[in-house]
Each structure stands twice: as structure tokens, then as C-alpha cells.
Amino acid sequence: MKYALNRRRFIKDSSRAAAGMALLSSLPQSSTATTNKEPRIRFSVININHSHIYGMVDAVTSGGGQLISFYAKEADLAATFAQKYPAAKQVQHKKEILEDSSVQLILSSGIPVERAPLGIEAMKHGKDYLVDKPGITSLEQLAEVRRVQKETKCIYAIMYSERLENKATVKAGELVKAGAIGRVIQTIGMGPHRMNIQSRPKWFFDKKYYGGIITDIGSHQFDQFLFFTGSTRAEIVASQAGNVHYPQYPAFEDFGDVMVKGNNGTGYIRVDWFTPDGLKSWGDGRLTILGTDGYIELRKNIDIAGREGGNHLFLVNSKETIYMDCNKEPLPFGEQFVNDVINRTETAMGQEHCFLATELSLIAQKMATQPGFKK
């Protein structure tokens, strides 16, 4: 009841936010396509080295996709995947999928350094590609991906799940679009993660396989910076990355941060592997969106002030502070992306936006200095 009263006062007292909320209420509500409809596209999975693949499959399925086959060279990963999706056929070689003319889309969460080469293969076979982040681990890979994408006109999409699969962030996007905090001038993105050393594969500890901490986790934050500020060009002001706490893994990076300046706003990014075991989440992911007439803060996974669960949104304007529980908000990405595959559009994510977010993370990683902390 308190939230309802606050929301009514917010609409009444703030003329800008009132107009914004009116616009927001008029926006079409996305539907997550259901399993009782005929499949709209057929898709397959190649390589499943990160569990993000499950969220990716479920998103595309919710949008009307039908998973028909998968390939994974690791028997244990394949067995787990097959148990989750028993209707999907397990094939013995990826070429069976690449050469299947009925497959329109390939999903992958392989070892990061292998993701771009697979995407290039997929596009050369006339298939769209949705890959876990980081979808590209070097500027050289990026140049080749861009060349092949331009040549084939296939979709090369990276699943920046901290925005696309987080309900509070989706809601924040609607509020910003509606003008609830005026013009966005800065984002501050925090991407902490828990190490869980015992469960990590060997490649996790060597940045030649994952590209470095800014390339990996930071790509999420650059995606959000571009999306919320509306920037179409940007440059790295400063960046640093390194290993400050795990000398037993000398090729691993556990901390990084970046300052970025775009043509429509600025941003600060911090990523790390220091989530303490006492937190009831793998990471206290946060995003602050500063506007000319207010700001929004997101606590994506946990509210350490005591509210249960994740998807917490706080909106502050000149009159008051509003809390929104976003757990019942829809996630439109799956349906939008399937529509893009069918209609050859860019509603889920612009192709250049996708590449620019990755390019910024790669440049920041390449120019990063050592933090210089004493271990």
C-alpha cells in the first residue's frame, strides 16, 4: 500500500515524471511467447562451457524458438544439458548443425576465445548467432567478425544478460525512455562476482582464454553505459586491471575499473572477483543511472538492506524516493530477438551497438595499466 501511495504522489507531484509515466503506460507490453504456439524458428546449440547457455536457450524458446539439436565435446556437460532438454538431439560433430539447412540460429557459451571463430563459421553457413559474453576476445577477432557479418548480413548477437535478462534493468530502460529522470548523463556499473575456485575449469584462470576481466565482465557494463546514455561513440579515458589477491593464478585478473566518455554521457565501471562468502548471492550487482531530473539505482541480485530476492529498483526525483519490486516485469528479449531473426530487423539489439560495447571493453582491456596494489 505504501508503494501504491508513493507512486500516486510521484505521478501527481512531478510534472516531468507524470508525463514520463503516462508515456510508459502507453508503451506496448511484451509477451513472452509460449510453448503452446507453433515454433517460429529452429535453433541449435554448439558448445556449452558456461551455464549461461540455459538462460539463453530459455529466452529464445520463450520467444518462439524450437531447440532441435546440440553439440558439446565434454561428456559431462552434454549429459547435464541433455537431461534439461531431452527433446534436443545430441549430434557427434558441430558440422551436423552447421550443415543443417533447417537451423536458422546457433547459440553458444563455449570457451570465450573459441566463440568468435564459431560465430564466423555460423555466419558463413548462413546462420544467425547468439553467443554468451564475452562474444569476442580480441580486436583482431572483432575485425574479422565485423567483416563477415557485413558480408553475410547474418545477425551476430552477444547476450549481455545483466541488462537483457535482468527485470529491474529492463524496467529502468522503460523509465528512462519515458523521461522519468530527465536526460541521462552518467552510469556507474558495478559487476562483482564470487570466485568459487573449486568449481572453475582451468581455462577460467588464464586470460588468454577469456580475454581479461574487462573484456569478460566489463562487456556487460559497456552495454549498459551505451544503452542508458544513448551514446553511439565513446572513448576510454582510463582503465586498470590486474591480479591483486591470487598469486597462485598469475595469468588471472581479479580486479578492473574503467572511466569512459561517450557522445551522450560518461560512465564508470568496476568489476571484480571479490564477492565475500557471507553474501547470499554470487554478486551484489549494481547500476546507478544519473539523470538531469533524478536518478535510478538498481540492486540486481540482492538488497543488503533486507528486502528478499533481487530485481530491486529505486527511483529518486525532486519530490520523493520510490521503491519498485520488478520481479513480475516481463523480459522481452527472447520474443524481440526471434522477431529479428524472422524479420531481419534490429529491435532486440542493434548490430553496431553490440559490436561497440565489445570494442570498448577490448580497448579498455588493451590499454589497462596495473593497479599497483601491494599484495
Query: What are the C-alpha distances in Å from 52 to residues 134, 147, 165, 174, 267?
Result: 11, 27, 11, 25, 26
- Please give the mean pLDDT across all residues of the chain: 91
Task: Choose between 17 and 146: higher pLDDT.
Answer: 146
Residue-range domain boundaries for the chain: 2-27+163-333+363-367, 41-159
Distances (CA, A) of 191 to 257, 271, 289, 299: 10, 5, 15, 11
In this prediction, residue 7 carries a pLDDT of 42
pLDDT at 38: 86
What proportion of the chain, given as a percentage, has pLDDT over 70? 90
For position 66, what pLDDT does the model report? 98
- pLDDT value, residue 306: 85
**What's the pLDDT band for 15 if we cut at 50, 70, 90?**
very low
pLDDT over 50 at 6, yes or no = no
The grid coordinates of residue 99 equal 550443415
The answer to whether residues 214 and 296 touch, using CB atoms and an 8 Å cutoff, is no
- pLDDT for 143 equals 98
Cα–Cα nearest to 63, from 138, 156, 165, 147: 165
Identify the CA nearest to 207 among candidates 249, 240, 248: 249
**Given the C-alpha cell 542493434, which residue does it identify?**
350
Among 5-19, 48-62, 170-184, 193-207, which stretch is predicted with the lowest mean pLDDT? Answer: 5-19
- Predicted pLDDT at 245: 95
The pLDDT of residue 16 is: 36
Architecture of domain 2-27+163-333+363-367: 2-Layer Sandwich (3.30)
Question: Can you give the pLDDT at residue 141?
Answer: 98
Residue 1 predicted with pLDDT over 50 = no
pLDDT at residue 374, as a whole number: 64
Of the listed ranges 6-10, 33-37, 44-48, 87-91, the one predicted with least confidence:
6-10
Query: DSSP letter string over 129-196?
Result: EEEESPS--SHHHHHHHHHHHHHH---EEEE-HHHHT-HHHHHHHHHHHTTTT-SEEEEEEEEE----
Same fold across 2-27+163-333+363-367 and 41-159: no
pLDDT exceeds 50 at position 252: yes
pLDDT at 21: 39
Q: Model-level pTM? A: 0.89
Give residue 375's pLDDT band: very low, low, confident or very high (50, 70, 90): low
Mean per-residue pLDDT for 58-63?
Answer: 98
For residue 372, what pLDDT band results from cuts at 50, 70 and 90?
Answer: confident
Burial class (CB in 10 A: 0-12, 13-18, 19+), 52: middle
CA distance linking residue 78 with residue 292, whole number of Å = 50
Percentage of residues in the chain with pLDDT exceeding 90? 88
Which architecture, in CATH terms, is 41-159? 3-Layer(aba) Sandwich (3.40)
Q: Which of 12-16, 242-246, 307-311 is predicted with the least confidence, judged by mean pLDDT?
A: 12-16
* pLDDT exceeds 70 at position 56: yes
Rg from Cα positions in the chain: 21
Does position 97 have pLDDT exceeding 90, yes or no? yes
H or E segment and range at residue 244: none
Question: How does residue 22 score in pLDDT terms, banded at 50, 70 and 90?
Answer: very low
User: Which pLDDT does position 305 carry in this prediction?
Assistant: 86
Q: What is the pLDDT of residue 293?
A: 98
Q: Is the pLDDT of residue 215 over 90?
A: yes
Distance of CA 156 to the CA centre of its chain: 14
